Amino acid sequence: MKYDKLVTNALGRTVPTIINGKPAVPYMGVGKYRPTGFKASTKIASCADYPEDGNKVVSSLKEALVKAGLKDGMCISTHHHFRNGDLVAVPVFDIAHELGVKDLMWLPSASFPCHEVLTKYLEDGTIDHLEGSMNGALGKFTSEGKMKGLGILRSHGGRYQSVQDGEVHIDIAVIAAPTADPFGNMNGVNGQTACGPLGFALADAQYAEKVIVVTDNLVPFPCIPWQINGNYVDYVVVMDKIGIAEKIVSGTTEITKSPDRLLLAEWSAQFCDEAGLIYDGFSFQAGAGGTALSIGIYFSDILRSRGWKARFARGGSNKYLVKMLEEGLVEYILDGQTFDLDGVRSMRDNPHHVMTTPFTSYNYHGKGNFSSLVDIVILGATEVDVNFNANVVTHSDGYLLHGIGGWMNTLFGKTVILPVPLFRDRNPVIRDRVTTLCGPGELIDVIVTERGIAINPLRTDLIEKMKNTSLPIRTIQELKEEAERICGVPEKPKFTDEIVAVVKWVDGTVIDSVYKIAR
Partner 1 sequence: MAEISTTGNKGKGIRSDCFVTLELAAKGGINLQLESKVAVMYGESIKKQALEIMAFFGIEHANLRIEDQGALPLVLAARIEAAVKKLISTEKEYLTPLLDCNKSLTARDRNRFSRLYLPGNSPALMINAGIHHPDGIILDLEDAVAPEKKYEARFLVRNALRSIDFYGAERMVRINQGERGLEDLEYIVAHNVNLILLPKCESAGQVHAVNKKIEEFVHGTSYMVHPIWIMPIIESALGVINAYSIASSADNVVALAIGLEDYTADLGTRRTLEGKESFFARSMVVNAARAAGIQPIDSVFSDIGDMEALRQNVLNSKALGFDGMGCIHPRQINVIHEAFAPSSEEIEKAKKIVFAFHEAEKKGLGVVALGNKMIDPPVVKRALNTINLAVKMNKLAENWRESYEI
In whole angstroms, the minimum distance from the beta carbon of 36 to partner 1 comes to 43
In whole angstroms, the minimum distance from the beta carbon of 334 to partner 1 comes to 32
Peptide bond into 182 cis (omega under 30): no
Taking CB under 8 A as the criterion, the residue among 52, 367, 491, 519 binding partner 1 is: 491
**CA 453 – CA 88 distance, rounded (Å):** 44
According to DSSP, residue 493 is labeled P
Identify the CA nearest to 362 among candidates 292, 316, 412.
412
Angle between helices 341-349 and 319-327 (to 10 degrees): 40
In whole angstroms, the minimum distance from the beta carbon of 433 to partner 1 comes to 13
Residue 397 lies near partner 1 (rule: CB under 8 A): yes
**CA 245 – CA 258 distance, rounded (Å):** 27
Q: How many residues bind partner 1 (CB under 8 A)?
A: 21
Residue 307 lies near partner 1 (rule: CB under 8 A): no
**CA 319 – CA 242 distance, rounded (Å):** 24
* 3 state DSSP class of 503: strand
Going from the C-alpha of 342 to that of each of 84, 119, 142, 194, 350, the distances in angstroms are 18, 34, 36, 11, 11
Burial (CB count within 10 angstroms: exposed 0-12, middle 13-18, buried 19+), residue 10 = middle
CB 81 within 8 A of CB 187: no
Residue 496 lies near partner 1 (rule: CB under 8 A): no
User: Binding segment for partner 1 among 42-50, 146-154, 338-346, 485-493 (CB under 8 A)?
Assistant: 485-493
According to DSSP, residue 518 is labeled P
User: Binding segment for partner 1 among 79-87, 255-263, 359-367, 497-505 (CB under 8 A)?
Assistant: 255-263
In whole angstroms, the minimum distance from the beta carbon of 259 to partner 1 comes to 4
In whole angstroms, the minimum distance from the beta carbon of 395 to partner 1 comes to 9
In whole angstroms, the minimum distance from the beta carbon of 307 to partner 1 comes to 21
Taking CB under 8 A as the criterion, the residue among 52, 425, 468, 519 binding partner 1 is: 425
Task: Specify the residue, 242 or 479, whose C-beta has the smaller distance to partner 1.
Answer: 479
Residue 260 lies near partner 1 (rule: CB under 8 A): yes
**CA 200 – CA 387 distance, rounded (Å):** 32
Residue 36 lies near partner 1 (rule: CB under 8 A): no
In whole angstroms, the minimum distance from the beta carbon of 470 to partner 1 comes to 7
Contacts of 19 (CB under 8 A, 6+ apart): 2, 3, 150, 152, 502, 510
Task: Specify the residue, 328 or 488, whose C-beta has the smaller distance to partner 1.
Answer: 488
User: Binding segment for partner 1 among 58-66, 160-168, 371-379, 480-488 (CB under 8 A)?
Assistant: 480-488
Residue 451 lies near partner 1 (rule: CB under 8 A): yes
SS (H, E, C) 240-262: CCCECHHHHCCHHHCCCCCHHHH
In whole angstroms, the minimum distance from the beta carbon of 57 to partner 1 comes to 48
User: Binding segment for partner 1 among 89-97, 155-163, 284-292, 421-429 (CB under 8 A)?
Assistant: 421-429
Taking CB under 8 A as the criterion, the residue among 12, 37, 100, 259 binding partner 1 is: 259
Residue 433 lies near partner 1 (rule: CB under 8 A): no
Residue 493 lies near partner 1 (rule: CB under 8 A): yes
Residue 254 lies near partner 1 (rule: CB under 8 A): no
In whole angstroms, the minimum distance from the beta carbon of 423 to partner 1 comes to 9
Going from the C-alpha of 207 to that of each of 91, 169, 215, 494, the distances in angstroms are 23, 8, 20, 40
User: Binding segment for partner 1 among 14-22, 121-129, 354-362, 491-499 (CB under 8 A)?
Assistant: 491-499
Taking CB under 8 A as the criterion, the residue among 494, 496, 497, 498 binding partner 1 is: 494
Identify the CA nearest to 316 among candidates 279, 351, 285.
285
CB 309 within 8 A of CB 280: yes
Taking CB under 8 A as the criterion, the residue among 42, 119, 256, 427 binding partner 1 is: 427
**CA 103 – CA 125 distance, rounded (Å):** 6
Contacts of 202 (CB under 8 A, 6+ apart): 160, 228, 357, 358, 359
According to DSSP, residue 494 is labeled P
In whole angstroms, the minimum distance from the beta carbon of 488 to partner 1 comes to 6
Residue 450 lies near partner 1 (rule: CB under 8 A): yes
Task: Specify the residue, 32 or 494, whose C-beta has the smaller distance to partner 1.
Answer: 494
Task: Specify the residue, 1 or 518, whose C-beta has the smaller distance to partner 1.
Answer: 518
In whole angstroms, the minimum distance from the beta carbon of 261 to partner 1 comes to 10
Site for partner 1, rule CB under 8 A: 259-260, 262-263, 396-398, 424-427, 450-451, 470, 486-488, 490-491, 493-494
